[in-house]
Amino acid sequence: MAGQLTLQQVLERAIQKEIEAQRLYSDLSQKAKDTVARDALRDMTRQEKGHQNLLERYLAGKLRKGALNPGLVVDYKIAETLEEPEPPPIMGLKDVFLLAAVREKAAHALYLGLAQIHPAGETRKVLEDLAAEEQQHKLRVETLYTEVAFPQTDGG
């Protein structure tokens, strides 16, 4: 069935999305002129790498308490949040931040959905923490978006 994936497939795709987010934030940090924006993007790159490592630990069976069988079929339409068209090669900075916010929202929904199918325990807590961090990333990227989309003028 379309929309049905095994937990392993979901985790593998989530890992790929974390890697893509790292690349995006790393590239943006190199282009950012504002020191605060550059530091925020570098920090987000490191956090996304941490998310990748946690998901890889789960796939390797290193998270045990409350972990589910990787072959479990998950049917709550995760594919819709993971399958998105590639952005065009040239985008304005505000559009890149908007795309990043949409991706962070999707990542938040993914981890929250995964947490909800897990029993209480270590694995569920890790997934809830990942969801909360992705929500914080969304807020940070939206803040960067507003600074680019609505720049402050000398007149206030």
Reported as a pLDDT band with limits 50, 70 and 90, residue 131 is very high
The strand pairing partners of 5, in sequence order, are 74
pTM of the model: 0.77
Query: Taking a C-beta distance cutoff of 8 angstroms, is the pair 72, 63 a contact?
Result: no
* CA distances, 20 to each of 2, 8, 45, 82 (Å): 24, 18, 10, 12
Instruction: Compute the average pLDDT of residues 37-41.
Output: 90
Among 2-6, 26-30, 94-98, 136-140, which is the least confidently predicted range?
A: 2-6
43-90: pLDDT as tens digits: 999 999 999 999 999 899 888 778 777 777 765 444 455 445 566 677
Instruction: Compute the average pLDDT of residues 102-117.
Output: 90
Query: Taking a C-beta distance cutoff of 8 angstroms, is the pair 55, 15 a contact?
Result: yes
Closest CA to 28 of 13, 11, 43, 18: 43
Q: Domains plus CATH for the chain?
A: 5-149 (1.20.1260.10)
As a whole number of angstroms, the distance between CA 49 and CA 30 comes to 17
